[in-house]
Structure 1
Amino acid sequence: MKLLLVPVLLFLLFLSKPIWVGATQQPLVPVSSPLVSPTSPISTTMAAFSPGIQVGIEEQHHMDTHKKMIIALVAASSALVVIILSFLFLWIYHWKFSHKSHKRSAQSSAVEKGLALAPFFSKFSSIKMVGKKGSVPLIEYKLLEKATDNFRDSNVLGEGGFGCVYKARLDDNLYAAVKKLNCENHDAEREFENEIDLLSKIQHPNIISLLGCSIHCESRFIVYELMQIGSLETQLHGPSHGSALTWHMRMKVALDTARGLEYLHEHCNPQVIHRDLKTSNILLDSDFNAKLSDFGLAVSNGAQNRNNIKLSGTLGYVAPEYLLDGKLTDKSDVYAFGVVLLELLFGRRPVEKLAPSQCQSIVTWAMPQLTDRSKLPNIVDPVIKDTMDLKHLYQVAAVAVLCVQPEPSYRPLITDVLHSLIPLVPIELGGTLRVSQVTRPAPPAQH
């Protein structure tokens, strides 16, 4: 608007100049020298006997000229104002239209996230849940019961603190994962509402997609996209013992996980702290793309409220300052990520029993050896031993050491971790490393 006002003022100033010039030039007309036409004796006679008449005619002529100029100025100014207002109106209309179009496209992309589910979702009603921004489809309980074969044990994909996750066939070509929560206490109900609230607002390639929810008696159900290969924990510590995860694939999983965390820490407003990052909550699809899941314990409150939340987490992944003092920050997630990185390097569980009453964390075991370059190649997971560039191994070990530092201020931001991992992952897998050939592991057999 300031740019529009400048030419308007200049234009009005320019148009006002002739009025001022006319006013100063009017007295210059000689009163005592009437205009005489040599070919008109009548005019000469009139001028000789009535010199004031000629002067009156000149004054009348100037007054008419001034009136015409004023009328022209008013008309020109009015036209200019109309033009400016028209442009302003068109600009406002264009801005509103673009804003609405952008909003509609954002809503469309939210509907399309994960899988092509529009035909399937048309069967259900869309209800407003606890979140202010998210709209979550409400799926009938009978459909979930049928899709999971009455929640048969053979369809169990995993178990959590308040229930199990089942494989469900919602349609002919649509499979999903259904988490059943037994909400007999307030903690389970709170986790259900918290997860629905957060996931209804979040959309990122490395965060699990929410498909819907259901409520039946004291049970709550959350429906997600199905991750065909399952959890990173199953791949690393299950029957295959990590055989499907090459060095490059492990780095890809670490990079995907870091990208998911960076979105939560840097791009969500308010910031989201996962608070329960672990290998069982990192899920893999058929292409080994990793996605963060299980947001029941996630925290999105401001920093001033984080000291009032109940201490929660999984032994081995909980940061020391949170465990001892209840101080929760984004660096707590960075610590848990460091533990996951150590599991990828060594193939060990986060906590292992040494004796019936004695346990040792992977951090305690690994720290003395991580900084010794002569020992490091010999303690990596036998599945990937001698399959990586040693420089890359040392770099990943250095990142892990920084992430699990006891002092939170010494730990890097997840953004810094992300940028340090990108050069170690082949281009074909989402990084910037150029390698001659990257061999994808064959997906494990489905049961």
Structure 2
Amino acid sequence: MSCGCFGASTNKKKRTPPHTPAEIDGYPLDNIMHFSEKDLRFATDNYHPSKKIGRGGFGTVYQGTLKDGRQVAVKNLSVGSKQGVREFLTEIKTISHIKHPNLVELVGCCVQESNRTLVYEYVENNSLDRALLGKRSTNLELDWGKRSNICRGTARGLAFLHEEVVPHIVHRDIKASNILLDRDFNPKIGDFGLAKLFPDDITHISTRIAGTTGYLAPEYAMGGQLTMKADVYSFGVLILEIISGKSSVRTNWGGSNKFLLEWAWQLHEEGKLLELVDPEMVEFPEEEVIRYMKVAFFCTQAAASRRPLMSQVVDMLSKKIRLNEKQLTAPGFFQDSGESSLKKSSFESTSNQFSSAPASFTQVIPR
């Protein structure tokens, strides 16, 4: 994978206005471009409602144009939100120094009086969530070529975070609304406010549970034991959303109280997987689409140790690797009631989950 991990150094004195603090809560802010509130008000026409392009849990996002003509997305965090400030710092700590084609670039920030604002690159086609689940238009037609590219690109971005960046990064909130699409529908992972850094010598982190129902790995949702395999699980659910055009958060699929993953597994057991495919996608290669859904099941195995690494997922999606479906067991499901299909026996590690000729993976090793 060819990519630049670290941005070129810049002259911070020229970019940092005199009113900008050197740190927040003890964290230095000398590795990121600073904007004044005046700059950002100018860029967004004083945060005009017509410039609003999204709203998250911690603030509103506006489209803006910098004085040099660059298009940006300006995320203005809610004033007085302690959680918003934590998210603000986490974003800066996590991605201010890394670049990858499948990660949203953090351009800079504004720290002025009570204002906490993050400035990102602007992506033309908004979020995958809006493209999949919002009002469809002919301009946002998602054929199989686009959908498969979104799956592979997102997998590459996660593999970069998990295995190439040091310390490694667990995103913790992989979902359709956090995957942004550029002009050519290339995916970019965004919103790192819940991310955690993973040093090489750490196998898991005990942490508060955060994320979105429908995407949460059962072992994380039940016990707060976070590993990189939690992201792998969420990505598996995301594949099913991309193929079906349906939300994983809703629980009425298949004519009963089932999440999307549960319904997909039921269709798999009944030999009816193609019934999951989005009816908007008229033409598609059946064998390849079924293959992607089976990769989703490998990613969502009940035991984290049975899930592949993201670099292996990239290969499973990109190469003619023969999947060893005999090793495929029921995915893990988590319900808000606290119930889960995660059983004691599912924690047993297995091997030979997928193999290939000539390439071969014979052991899936938990990180």
CA distance in 1, matches of 2:164, 2:252: 41
**1:90-115 CA distance string (max 9 Å, x none):** xxxxxxxxxxxxxxxx89x7149xxx
The structure that is helix-richer by fraction is: 1
Partner of 1:151: 47
- Larger CA deviation: 131-140 vs 142-151: 131-140
CA distance in 2, matches of 1:123, 1:157: 31
Query: Are 1:381 and 2:278 matched, yes or no?
Result: yes
Amino acid corresponding to residue 304 of structure 2 in structure 1: P
Structure 2 residue matching 1:381: 3-state secondary structure? coil
Contact 2:203 2:227 in 1 (8 A): no
Partner of 2:142: 245
Unaligned runs of 5+ in 2: 321-367
Query: Are 1:224 and 2:120 matched, yes or no?
Result: yes
Structure 2 residue matching 1:235: 3-state secondary structure? helix
**1:370-422 CA distance string (max 9 Å, x none):** 3444x22233101114x222221221111011111221112111111100111
Contact 2:127 2:177 in 1 (8 A): yes
Partner of 2:15: 124
Greater Rg by CA: 1
CA distance in 1, matches of 2:247, 2:137: 11
Structure 2 residue matching 1:212: 3-state secondary structure? strand
**1:151-190 CA distance string (max 9 Å, x none):** 1222111111111111011126311001111252432211
Shift of 1:354: 3.8
Structure 2 residue matching 1:382: 3-state secondary structure? coil
Shift of 1:350: 0.9
Contact 1:273 1:299 in 2 (8 A): yes
Amino acid corresponding to residue 158 of structure 2 in structure 1: L
Amino acid corresponding to residue 171 of structure 2 in structure 1: H
Query: Are 1:329 and 2:227 matched, yes or no?
Result: yes
Amino acid corresponding to residue 124 of structure 1 in structure 2: R
**1:253-276 CA distance string (max 9 Å, x none):** 011000000001001122110001
- 1:304-323 → structure 2 map (5 Å cutoff): 307-323=205-221
Unaligned runs of 5+ in 1: 1-105, 113-117, 425-447
Amino acid corresponding to residue 264 of structure 2 in structure 1: A
Shift of 1:229: 0.7
Structure 1 residue matching 2:229: 3-state secondary structure? helix
Q: Give the length in aligned residue pairs.
A: 308
Query: Are 1:258 and 2:155 matched, yes or no?
Result: yes
Structure 2 residue matching 1:259: 3-state secondary structure? helix
- Larger CA deviation: 166-175 vs 293-302: 166-175
- 1:85-124 → structure 2 map (5 Å cutoff): 110-111=7-8, 124=15
Task: Pick the aligned partner of 1:271 from 164, 168, 189.
Answer: 168
CA distance in 1, matches of 2:269, 2:144: 20
Shift of the 134–421 alpha-carbon distance from structure 1 to 2, 3 Å rule, reads farther
What TM-score do you get using the length of structure 1 for normalisation? 0.64
Shift of 1:353: 5.0
What TM-score do you get using the length of structure 2 for normalisation? 0.77
Partner of 2:305: 409
Q: Per chain length, whose mean CA-contact separation is higher, i.e. which structure has more relative contact order (CA < 8 Å, sep 6+)? A: 2
Shift of the 149–359 alpha-carbon distance from structure 1 to 2, 3 Å rule, reads farther
Structure 1 residue matching 2:225: 3-state secondary structure? coil
Partner of 1:281: 178
Amino acid corresponding to residue 351 of structure 1 in structure 2: V
**1:356-378 CA distance string (max 9 Å, x none):** xx9632112211113444x2223
CA distance in 2, matches of 1:367, 1:241: 30
Shift of the 254–131 alpha-carbon distance from structure 1 to 2, 3 Å rule, reads farther
Structure 1 residue matching 2:66: 3-state secondary structure? strand
CA distance in 2, matches of 1:297, 1:309: 11
Shift of 1:313: 0.6
- 1:40-119 → structure 2 map (5 Å cutoff): 110-111=7-8
* Root mean square deviation of aligned Cα: 2.8
